[in-house]
């Protein structure tokens, strides 16, 4: 087992580092903490950079390659930066039937980026995603972790404007 990185050496905030120290003790095996740890790391740093991967590997006591193997499996984990607000529009069946594709097209036009694109100012990124579990309130999108449901082109405009205003504050 490798030793925990010292407080000063960590890439993460003291709160997150403390959380990670606890996380690895919760399970019968340390490695079980890997997937949640990667997601929390991404939430704080923005994406899973090489140094983040190295530190997570060290904390769990596995190789960086093993960490990368896991990252490539999960669609929410990314190794490149996204926008500050990651707009995820669902176009799966229930959303498709109620205009999910139109919402996605509208976002592409409004943000001026294609699927998986990031705006030049880094404020927004756009992604077409699979079912997010909002089928009865379709069409729906998630911005970061927040759900926005029963969308229309007008209401998604307002959602985007609200995030823009939030960022300007």
Partner 1 sequence: MATLTTHPDCVTVVSYRFGKGAAEIERYIQLGGYESARKALALGPDGIISEMKASNLRGRGGAGFPTGLKWSFVPKQSTKPKYVLVNGDESEPGTCKDRLIFEQDPHSVIEGTIIAALSVQAKMGFIYLRGEYRYLLQIAERAVAQAYTKGFLGKNIFGSGTDFDIVTQTGAGAYEVGEESALMESLEGKRGIPRIRPPFPAVVGLYGGPTIINNAETIATVPHIFRIGGAEYAKLGTERNGGTRLFCLSGHVERPGVYELPMGYNLKKMIYEVGGGIPNGKKLKAVVPGGASTPALTADEIDIGMDFDQVGKAGSMLGSGGVVVLDETTCMVEFALRTMKFYAHESCGWCIPCREGTDWLKKSLTRLHEGGAVDKDIDNIRYLAENMLGRTFCPLGDAAAMPTIAFVQKFRKEFEDHLEGRGCPYHRAPEPEPALV
Residue ranges that bind partner 1, judged by CB under 8 A: 26-29, 31-36, 38-39, 60, 69-70, 72-77, 91-94, 96-98, 105, 108-109, 112-114, 117, 119-120, 130-138, 142, 145-147
CB of 66 to partner 1, least distance (A): 9
Q: Which is nearer to partner 1, 10 or 59 (CB)?
A: 59
Peptide bond into 139 cis (omega under 30): yes
Q: Name the DSSP class of 4.
A: P
Q: Which is nearer to partner 1, 11 or 31 (CB)?
A: 31
CB of 30 to partner 1, least distance (A): 8
Say if CB 140 and CB 134 are below 8 A apart: yes
CB of 27 to partner 1, least distance (A): 7
Task: Return the H-helix or E-strand segment holding 44.
Answer: helix 34-45
Smallest Cα–Cα separation from 71: which of 55, 53, 93?
53
φ/ψ of 99, rounded to 5, equals 100, 20
Q: Which is nearer to partner 1, 84 or 108 (CB)?
A: 108
Q: Which is nearer to partner 1, 4 or 78 (CB)?
A: 78
CB of 100 to partner 1, least distance (A): 10
Residues 58, 63: Cα–Cα separation, whole Å: 8
């Amino acid at each position: 087992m490798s030793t925990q990185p010292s407080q000063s050496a960590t890439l993460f905030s003291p709160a997150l580092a403390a959380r990670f120290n606890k996380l690895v003790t919760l399970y019968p095996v340390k490695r079980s903490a890997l997937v949640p740890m990667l997601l929390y790391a991404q939430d704080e740093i923005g994406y899973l950079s090489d140094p983040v991967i190295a530190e997570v590997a060290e904390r769990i006591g596995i190789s960086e390659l093993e960490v990368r193997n896991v990252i490539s499996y999960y669609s929410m984990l990314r190794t490149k930066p996204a926008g500050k607000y990651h707009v995820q529009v669902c176009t799966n069946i229930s959303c498709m039937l109620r205009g999910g594709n139109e919402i996605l097209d509208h976002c592409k036009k409004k943000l001026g980026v294609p699927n998986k694109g990031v705006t030049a100012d880094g404020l927004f990124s756009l992604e077409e995603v699979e079912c997010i579990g909002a089928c009865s309130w379709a069409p729906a999108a998630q911005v970061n972790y927040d759900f926005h449901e029963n969308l229309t082109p007008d209401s998604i405009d307002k959602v985007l404007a609200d995030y823009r205003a939030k960022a300007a504050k």
